[in-house]
Amino acid sequence: GAGVSQSPSNKVTEKGKDVELRCDPISGHTALYWYRQRLGQGLEFLIYFQGNSAPDKSGLPSDRFSAERTGESVSTLTIQRTQQEDSAVYLCASSSGTLPNQPQHFGDGTRLSIL
């Protein structure tokens, strides 16, 4: 597709369940980023991929959070044993390189609600 695609767009689940969020970046974009945006707050960096490797995982809030990327394309963010504080919009972005002047292109996000 032309833009970054995320699925599902909305996810409601019970506390304690595992969830998997998917991101399809723009074709050819080597860099991929995950962010979390809590209600009324700014973007919180989670993890960055260059190709299939993740040189920066510093933003993952706990070991319940993990992410992988395969084929230098699709990425999945997995949250295990979800907690209510995990409720947020999870945004994925991709860019064509790691150079600092390459802007990021964002998906519409997955709105996650933990009951």
Partner 1 sequence: GDSVTQMEGPVTLSEEAFLTINCTYTATGYPSLFWYVQYPGEGLQLLLKATKADDKGSNKGFEATYRKETTSFHLEKGSVQVSDSAVYFCALAGSTSGTYKYIFGTGTRLKVLA
The mark string for 3-42 relative to partner 1 (x by CB under 8 A, - otherwise) is ------------------------------x-x-----xx
* 48 near partner 1 (CB under 8 A): yes
Contact 59, 44 (CB under 8 A): yes
* 51 near partner 1 (CB under 8 A): no
Measuring CA to CA, which residue among 82, 89, 110 is closest to residue 21? 110
| CA–CA gap between residue 32 and residue 77 (Å, rounded) | 12
Amino acid identity at 7: S
Residues lying near partner 1 in the complex (CB under 8 A) are found at: 33, 35, 41-43, 45, 48, 55-56, 91, 93, 98-109
